[in-house]
């Protein structure tokens, strides 16, 4: 069995080079991508010209502009960089099927048994460098037996240890004390680390199988993926290289620096497993149909859908998925594209339920010179539970009938939603509250089930229409007024039933309930109106009469 081999690809200028690919004019002048920290803007990525000017990562923008007045900047788009890294992961699939992303700018590949397809590991890395050069990307690669070792080689191979700003370095001391620091000029003896030169376009380091110890011994301790606090503490104690740690007692290291240091050492040396965990490929459900001659009639498009929908639904059934959203893209002969979208009230893999919804929206397509290709996809899907028939034949027939009846309402919602939008169709569910306007919850009908139990009985009849309280002009008295004015109309009392006293929720401060306790009345007017009025006894605002609903 071949020994496990891991390839780490690090793109140190990913953010800057992504924008340079879009605008090649940014390649020549000093250019940096900025990250907003809330208090200031700092450099997140830069090109080689900016690094040649002495700029560094995490440097504040004001300091960078003082060193390089001609610096060009752009704000960082983390979402776009993550998508770009995902596209690079798809490209890296040509070298190994086992690719994992390490945000923000790294890829991990398990190349066990794959390198011989390219003539060896060196030839594979040469191909990686050639591809990245064609893509305009700077890459540093490391190959080792473990993830930690490959990660360290890709970033720190051939580089000195990190500099500790503690005052011990020769260039940090006062002029009068520098004469005493001559013997400590080397970075291994407490001196300042030499400046790292410009990053090469491609650099590689391969640790032969079984030689992880020798490959990591001369690397700085920060190559172990330690926290900044742990790395600083090690540097203060004079432990600058990984080789200095490998000979130390493990119990003492864990007691003084924590278990994370020992775990990182074990992962780098292969004593503790660290698998490469690639992200599962997203499920994509799409079909397309090309035509030898352009089409433009609705009958022709429907005929094409009759051929595309069964194929799409079969793919959905194979993965036990149901479509909630369908998108039809029509490509015209002038290289333009139009699309329509329809939503389903319930996830489905039945083409007979999808076709009527798409047919309702075909009038939105403008054929002009005709369509030469149609593409149908389901961008939003849900898992469908497989139903198994059990029992006698009659029981199975009844189950089928019940399932067929249950789709009628869903189809109706889908057809109405295709015209007005599924988000505009709602249904009510009861809620646990004595406040009239809180006794129900508004849910989207397409993403909720009907309330199966009987609606709660509140003892008293509730109005059919509810609105926010409206002021009623009447005497400020708890007694029901004989006459009152509401919405510009003078109404006369015919019959009153009540009162029903409701108190506000004392743990909430709601503006509509600052008038205090309410006495609700069912008022029938001589003019024929039947209203739901209440008298507010006063609280944060004054008392008075209000109208909140109508029974008609």
Residue by residue, what is the 3-state secondary structure of 28-50? CCCEEEEEECCCCEEEEEECHHH
Cβ atoms of 539 and 516 closer than 8 Å: yes
Cβ atoms of 485 and 511 closer than 8 Å: no
**Residue 61 confidence (pLDDT):** 93
Cβ atoms of 330 and 365 closer than 8 Å: yes
Count of other CB atoms within 10 angstroms of residue 544: 19
Q: What is the pLDDT of residues 396-445, one digit of tens each?
A: 666 666 555 567 777 787 878 877 887 788 888 888 888 888 888 888 88
Cβ atoms of 14 and 105 closer than 8 Å: yes
Q: Which of 203, 11, 147 is nearest to 89 (CA)?
A: 11
Angle formed at CA 449 by CA 447 and CA 451, multiple of 5 degrees: 140
Cα 509 to Cα 276: distance, rounded to the nearest angstrom: 52
As beta bridge partners, residue 428 has 442
Cβ atoms of 113 and 98 closer than 8 Å: no
Q: Which of 116, 199, 100 is nearest to 155 (CA)?
A: 199
Angle formed at CA 349 by CA 346 and CA 353, multiple of 5 degrees: 65
Cβ atoms of 359 and 415 closer than 8 Å: no
Cα 81 to Cα 504: distance, rounded to the nearest angstrom: 51
Cβ atoms of 522 and 547 closer than 8 Å: no
Evaluate the omega torsion of the peptide bond into residue 471 and state whether it is cis, within 30 degrees of 0: no
**Residue 237 confidence (pLDDT):** 82
**Residue 485 confidence (pLDDT):** 94
Task: Name the token pair of 317.
Answer: 């059934």
**Residue 440 confidence (pLDDT):** 81
Q: What is the pLDDT of residues 36-87, one digit of tens each?
A: 888 899 999 999 999 999 999 999 999 999 999 999 999 999 889 998 999 9
CB hemisphere CA count around 504 (13 angstroms):
17
Cα 518 to Cα 528: distance, rounded to the nearest angstrom: 24
Task: Name the token pair of 67.
Answer: 């060193």
Task: Name the token pair of 437.
Answer: 């306007």
For the chain, give the number of residues. 552
Residue 481: DSSP 8-state: P
Sheet of 31-36: strand order equals 41-46, 31-36, 72-75
Give the pairing type, strands 483-486 and 139-144: unpaired
Run of H or E including 88: helix 78-92
Count of other CB atoms within 10 angstroms of residue 350: 16
Question: Strands (DSSP E) along 349-399, which ranges?
Answer: 371-383
**Residue 188 confidence (pLDDT):** 47
**Residue 8 confidence (pLDDT):** 93
Give the pairing type, strands 72-75 and 31-36: parallel
CB hemisphere CA count around 262 (13 angstroms):
12
Residues of the chain with pLDDT under 50: 1, 167-188, 190-199, 389
Cα dist from 282 to 275, 319, 341, 495, whole Å: 21, 12, 21, 65
Cα 224 to Cα 261: distance, rounded to the nearest angstrom: 8
Per-residue b/e over 302-322, b at no fewer than 16 CB within 10 Å?
eebbeebbebbbebbeeeebb
Count of other CB atoms within 10 angstroms of residue 527: 10
Q: Is 232 helix (H, G, I), strand (E, B) or coil?
A: helix
Cβ atoms of 348 and 323 closer than 8 Å: yes
**Residue 386 confidence (pLDDT):** 60
Task: Name the token pair of 284.
Answer: 């994509």
pTM: 0.58
**Residue 400 confidence (pLDDT):** 65
Residue 477: DSSP 8-state: S
Angle formed at CA 226 by CA 231 and CA 108, multiple of 5 degrees: 140
Count of other CB atoms within 10 angstroms of residue 477: 11
**Residue 235 confidence (pLDDT):** 85
């Amino acid at each position: 069995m071949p020994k496990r081999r891991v390839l780490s690809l690090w793109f140190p200028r990913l953010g800057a080079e992504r924008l340079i690919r879009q605008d090649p004019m940014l390649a020549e002048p000093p250019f940096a991508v900025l990250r907003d920290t809330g208090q200031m803007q700092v450099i997140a990525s830069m090109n080689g010209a900016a690094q040649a000017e002495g700029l560094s990562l995490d440097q504040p923008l004001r300091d960078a502009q003082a060193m390089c007045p001609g610096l060009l900047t752009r704000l960082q788009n983390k979402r776009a960089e993550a998508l770009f890294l995902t596209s690079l992961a798809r490209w890296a699939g040509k070298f190994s099927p086992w690719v994992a992303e390490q945000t923000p700018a790294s890829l991990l590949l398990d190349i066990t048994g794959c390198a011989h397809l390219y003539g060896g590991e060196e030839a594979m890395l040469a191909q990686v460098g050639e591809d990245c050069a064609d893509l305009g990307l700077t890459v540093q690669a490391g190959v080792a037996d473990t993830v930690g070792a490959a990660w360290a080689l890709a970033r720190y191979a051939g580089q000195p240890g990190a500099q500790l700003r503690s005052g011990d370095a020769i260039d940090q001391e006062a002029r009068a004390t520098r004469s005493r620091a001559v013997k400590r000029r080397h970075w291994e003896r407490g001196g300042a680390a030499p400046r790292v030169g410009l990053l090469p376009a491609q650099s590689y380091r391969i640790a032969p199988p079984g030689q992880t110890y020798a490959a990591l011994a001369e690397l700085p301790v920060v190559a172990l993926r330690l926290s900044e606090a742990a790395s600083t503490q090690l540097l203060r104690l004079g432990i600058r290289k990984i080789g200095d740690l490998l000979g130390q007692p493990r119990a003492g290291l864990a007691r003084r620096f924590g278990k994370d240091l020992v775990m990182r050492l074990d992962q780098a040396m292969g004593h503790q497993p660290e698998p490469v965990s690639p992200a599962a490929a997203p499920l994509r459900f799409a079909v397309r149909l090309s035509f030898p001659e352009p089409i433009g009639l609705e009958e022709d498009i429907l005929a094409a859908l009759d051929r595309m929908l069964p194929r799409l639904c079969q793919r959905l059934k194979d993965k036990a998925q149901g479509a909630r959203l369908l998108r039809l893209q029509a490509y015209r002969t002038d290289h333009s594209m139009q699309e329509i979208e329809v939503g389903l009230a319930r996830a489905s893999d039945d083409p007979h339920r999808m076709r009527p919804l798409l047919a309702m929206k075909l009038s939105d397509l403008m054929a002009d010179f005709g369509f030469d290709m149609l593409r149908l996809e389901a961008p939003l899907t849900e898992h469908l539970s497989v139903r198994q028939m059990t029992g006698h034949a009659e029981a199975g027939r009844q189950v089928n009938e019940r399932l067929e009846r249950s789709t009628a309402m869903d189809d109706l919602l889908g057809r109405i939603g295709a015209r007005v939008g599924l988000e505009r169709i709602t249904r009510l569910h009861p809620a646990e509250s004595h406040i009239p306007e809180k006794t129900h919850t508004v849910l989207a009908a397409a993403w909720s089930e009907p309330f199966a139990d009987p609606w709660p009985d509140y003892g008293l009849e509730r109005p059919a229409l509810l609105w926010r309280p409206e002021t009623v002009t009447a005497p400020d008295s708890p007694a029901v007024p004989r006459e009152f004015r509401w919405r510009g109309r003078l109404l006369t009392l015919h019959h009153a039933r009540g009162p029903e006293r409701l108190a506000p929720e004392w743990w909430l401060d709601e503006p509509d309930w600052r008038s205090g306790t309410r006495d609700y009345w069912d008022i029938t007017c001589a003019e024929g109106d039947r209203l739901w009025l209440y008298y507010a006894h006063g609280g944060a605002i004054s008392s008075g009469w209000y109208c909140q609903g109508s029974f008609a």
